[in-house]
Amino acid sequence: MARQAESKTQAAPFDGPAFNAALAEAVAAERAGQSHGAVGALLRETLPVLRAEALANHPRGDRIASQLARGVDDIIKALYAAAPAVSHDIAICAVGGFGRRELAPFSDIDLLFLHKRPADGELRALMDFMLYPLWDSGMKIGHGVHTPKSAHAFAKSDMIARTAYLDARLLCGSRKLFNEFHGAYERLRRGTKNQFVAAKLKEQDDRQTRADETRYLVEPDVKEGKGGLRDVQTIRWIYKYVYGGAIGQSRTIAKILGDPERRALVKAERFLWSVRAHVHDLRGRADEKLTFDIQPDIAARLGYADRSNMTAAERLMKHYFLNAVEVGRLTRILCAKLEEERAKRLPHLPKRLPKTLQTDEAPGRPNLRIRNGRLDFESAAKARRQPRDFFRLFRAFSKKPAIDFHPDALAIVSEGTPSVTSGVRKDPIVARLFEGVLTDSADPVRVLRVMAETGLLGRYIPAFGAIVGRIEYGLYRRFTLDEQVLRCIGVLAEIARGDLKSEHPIATQIVKKTKNPLILHIAVLLHESVWTLKDKSVEDCEQLIVRIGRRLGLGEDDAALAAWASARHQMMVRTAERRNLTEAQAISTFAQQAGSPARLDVMLVLSICYLRTVGLYSWDDVTRRQLTELYEASAAWFDDGEDALRKRLEERAARARAETKTRLADWTDEEKENFLKRLTDTMLRSVEPDLIVRFAHLARAAEADRAAAAVTVTPRQSDLEAIVYADDRTGLLADLAGAVAAAGMSVRSVQALTTEDGKALDIFAVQSADGAPLCDPDQARRLHGELLAAARSAPKRPPVLKRRIGDRRTIFSVAPAVRIDFAASNDATIVEAEGLDRPGLLYALARALADLGVMIASAHIATYGERAVDAFYLRDKKNRKITDAQTLKRVEKRLLDVLSSGSGA
């Protein structure tokens, strides 16, 4: 961990004698009826002093926690000394984290009141005297009241209480009473070790499932997340419950955790406590989430500084994830050792190496054995001398993941990763073993993740090692870069097994027909390699992946194919999101860039793997349809060129026309013809027949009612679909976008079309401001009202736009950019505006274009966390493609002004 920065200010120290005197004065004033709540007010003044002093005096979080616990000890003991006398024995105990002397600045305080007799007025008076001032101080106090016998019964029936009592210590009162309670608890502990271990491990699994089963979330929960403090405490709880003493206090520890493991545990725990203490202090409350907005401040407090290729916050988070990995490794070791002790009572565990694991891609029998039901090296010394054995270990696990690793084997691999040098990387036998791990694993994500956690994967492929624990600082990604890659491998495995055939029939067929599956696996595994380069150019990334692909067993052409697609893994989705896919020119431009059907195939598979994992809302049905259309249209272009593509688009318009006629069954032939004459081929290519039919009914009903405009809003999965019918006018799209923003929502996508007789058909996919599902019917009603008002007439005032509570986009900075593309459309000039997303951004951009007298033929909205990229197809007032340089300069300047007004830069 980086050295913590020196505190600039020293807190006034907590003065014990002065506090005791002030407490006595406050108690006397309350008893004399001269004051009310004076003791609670005194504690409310004292606690910030205790917190500030602990944070100022100690660079390490574990020492901060210990000093805070001592301070609260002193307060409770002073309250007890000043409390009304009780004529019988009682004992006040600290339990839980307080019992362990571990308190973050705003931790809960858990107390156990022990008594011998039935509860009486004296006991209640003492508890009221102590607890009410503690509650008044702002502390969150949890307490239980028991006799030793009832405490034992409660612990026996309640696992939470049993865990809390494991760390019980006497604060004040009767030692004899405490010993009676402790003795009963010890008898319970000795007879229920297996039950406790099973319960704690299940509790851990359930907690991690709720936390998305990963320690690699970019905004982790320091306490409850995988690899967090709760997992550290689970290690200590299990050890103490099984062996009767804390780690370091029992002689058995050397058999369970060696010196390196104990040091690693202490280091991880200190780091996590340091982070947690400062998270509490910055938030001013018990908050355990290490979110983006405080990561830079935590990094500064802990002494991290920017480096040439990583910010201080990124370095902090990399260390966080490395420590979380250590906690997972230590948990695995502890569980395996406990299992070993029970091995004689587990006859079902395999004892001999299964036949399928006795051979692999390397010559000779593997240096492996089954030890207490786990996969281990037969000769540890040989494995240390021959790093190829490391890969044979993981190859065996990839075949039989039900046989887990022995922790001693993983320790040997972790210690031996420095021996994986250039010679090992160039070993073709190791490459074949790794190919088997990648392409022929029952659970490739699991095996690759353990390889990464031991350091072997990053050592074998340094380009992967450079992204381990690294984050992209922003709201788009959910996971660290390495976890994102591994989850992509998981999606590829699902496609290969046919599990996603109904959702991705084309991708499933591509994977099935690919003769060398290593091409796809290398493309997916290395698609984030650009992060390892100082000059993040696509060409340099492609060259890097070619070199790695050849080393891992790909031929020259196959390595080039994997590298080309991997280095451009976002090219296909960016085109699908930002271009009008009903225009032949957009498809043709993309297909020419792709260059071959083989590249197109790899890009589609890679795009699906990437989008299904990268963000919480990065994959939906809209994205699926866009990628499918782009793939099929490009495939047609590759088959027969421009003519085939034009024919495809013409046939699509003809099919839409015919299907619309069929579905308008209750219309006369004349009504159908009159309506279809109003629709251009562009409209018929752009809109699904279902939408055209609904537009037809909407338009007919509005015209029959002599309405100037009409709107329908329909729920679609997690979004709302809005169809707007109105007289077209300059600035209509801006007004409608403003209406969406005024309703507190954002535009997911929009199609802006115009009929032959000048009527606007605008189709919006609308999502919540944070991308969460829209489920409330009131939201649909509010959107309908805002859109209808804007469609009828231009609003007299701009919409009132407010950021929602909790909108975190403002903590980021996005450099404004405007890009102009003449080549991707024959009929319009494409202008992309990129900047920090905010409420009403589309409205502001569209209004600026309307004010310049520029027509928006269509708009394509893409959002990546805090970054928005809106692509506009622009024409002049005569409906022609804009080519005038001065006009485009004005457009660029005006859009940059809009973007800069909310860039955060």
Q: Quickly state the pLDDT bin for 803 (edges 50, 70, 90).
A: low
Pairing of strands 141-146, 109-115: parallel
Predicted pLDDT of residue 1:
43
Is pLDDT above 80 for 671?
Answer: yes
- Ranking 110-124, 276-290, 377-391, 671-685 by mean pLDDT, the lowest is 110-124
What is the model's pLDDT at position 783? 94
Q: How far apart are CA 635 and CA 604, in angstroms?
A: 11
Question: How many Å apart are CA 141 and CA 137, to the nearest integer?
Answer: 10
Question: What does residue 416 show for φ and ψ, rounded to 5 degrees?
Answer: -95, 0
Instruction: Give residue 256's pLDDT.
Output: 74
Backbone angles phi, psi at 531, to 5 degrees: -65, -15
For tokens 């500064």, what's the residue?
Answer: 300
**What average pLDDT does this structure show over 884-892?**
95
For the stretch 694-717, pLDDT in tens is 999 999 999 988 888 999 999 887
pLDDT higher than 50, residue 10: no
Is pLDDT of 148 > 70? yes
Q: What is the mean pLDDT of residues 18-35?
A: 88
Q: Write down the pLDDT at residue 11.
A: 47
Report the mean per-residue pLDDT for the chain: 90
Degrees (nearest 5) of the Cα angle 406, 408, 413? 100
> What is the C-alpha separation between 902 and 848, in angstroms, rounded?
15
Q: What is the pLDDT of residue 33?
A: 86
Q: Which band of pLDDT confidence, cut at 50, 70 and 90, is reported for residue 275? A: very high
Q: What is the mean pLDDT of residues 411-421?
A: 94
Looking at 204-208, 755-759, 821-825, which range is the least confident one? 204-208
Mean pLDDT value of segment 863-875: 91
* Collapsed DSSP state (helix, strand, coil) of residue 463: helix
Residue 120: pLDDT band (50, 70, 90) is confident
**Is the Cβ–Cβ distance between 102 and 138 less than 8 Å?**
no
pLDDT given for residue 212 in this prediction: 57
For residue 323, the Cα-to-chain-centroid distance in whole angstroms is 18
Confidence bin at 112 (pLDDT 50/70/90): very high
Q: How confident is the model at residue 536 (pLDDT cuts 50, 70, 90)?
A: confident
Q: How confident is the model at residue 851 (pLDDT cuts 50, 70, 90)?
A: very high
| pLDDT tens-digit map of 727-786 | 998 899 999 999 999 998 888 888 888 898 889 999 998 888 776 777 778 889 999 999
Q: Long-range contacts made by residues 298-304, C-beta under 8 angstroms, separation at least 24? A: 300/5, 301/4, 301/5, 302/1, 302/2, 302/4, 302/5, 302/274, 302/275, 302/278, 303/2, 303/3, 303/4, 303/5, 304/2
Query: Looking at residue 900, what is its pLDDT?
Result: 93
Q: Is the pLDDT of residue 158 over 80?
A: yes
| 39 within 8 A of 60, measured Cβ to Cβ | no
How would residue 248 be classed by pLDDT, with cut points 50, 70 and 90?
A: low
**218/475 Cα distance (integer angstroms):** 9
Backbone torsion region of residue 470, taken as left when φ is above 0, otherwise alpha when ψ lies between -120 and 50, otherwise beta: beta
Of the candidate ranges 5-9, 485-489, 495-499, 669-673, the one whose mean pLDDT is the lowest: 5-9
At 708 the three-state DSSP class reads coil
pLDDT tier at 131 (50, 70, 90 boundaries)? very high
Nearest CA to 22 out of 36, 41, 49, 48 is that of: 41
Nearest to 543 by CA among 558, 565, 563, 566: 563
Q: How confident is the model at residue 349 (pLDDT cuts 50, 70, 90)?
A: low
Please check whether residue 657 is in contact with residue 693, taking contact to mean a CB–CB distance below 8 angstroms.
no
Handedness of CA 500, 504, 508, 509 (dihedral sign): positive
Query: Mapped to the 3 state alphabet, what secondary structure does 13-80 carry?
Result: CCCHHHHHHHHHHHHHHHHCCCCCCHHHHHHHHHHHHHHHHHHHHCCCHHHHHHHHHHHHHHHHHHHH
- Once rounded to an integer, what is the mean pLDDT over residues 335-350? 62
pLDDT tier, 119 (very low <50, low <70, confident <90, very high otherwise): low
pLDDT number for residue 805: 59
Q: Length of the chain in residues, anyone? A: 905
Q: Per-residue pLDDT for 3 more than 50? A: no
For the chain, report the end-to-end CA distance as a whole number of angstroms.
30
User: Does residue 562 carry a pLDDT above 50?
Assistant: yes
Q: Which residues contact 175 (CB under 8 A, 6 or more apart)?
A: 91
3-state secondary structure of 860: strand
Is residue 514's pLDDT more than 60? Answer: yes
Write down the pTM of the prediction.
0.86
List, for residues 84-109, the tens digit of each pLDDT value: 888 788 999 999 999 999 999 999 99
CA dihedral (257, 260, 261, 262) positive or negative:
positive
Residues above pLDDT 90, as percent of the chain: 66
- Beta-bridge partner residues of 864: 867
Structure tokens at 554: 């790909």
User: Average pLDDT of 796-814?
Assistant: 77
Exposure string for 246-261, b = 16+ CB within 10 A, e = fewer:
ebeebeebeebbeeeb
Give dist(CA 631, CA 637) in Å, integer.
10
User: What span, in angstroms and rounded, lies between the C-alpha atoms of 103 and 61?
Assistant: 10
Confidence (pLDDT) at 249 = 64
Instruction: State residue 445's pLDDT score.
Output: 95
Q: Which residue has the higher pLDDT, 314 or 3?
A: 314
How confident is the model over 367-395, as a mean pLDDT?
Answer: 95
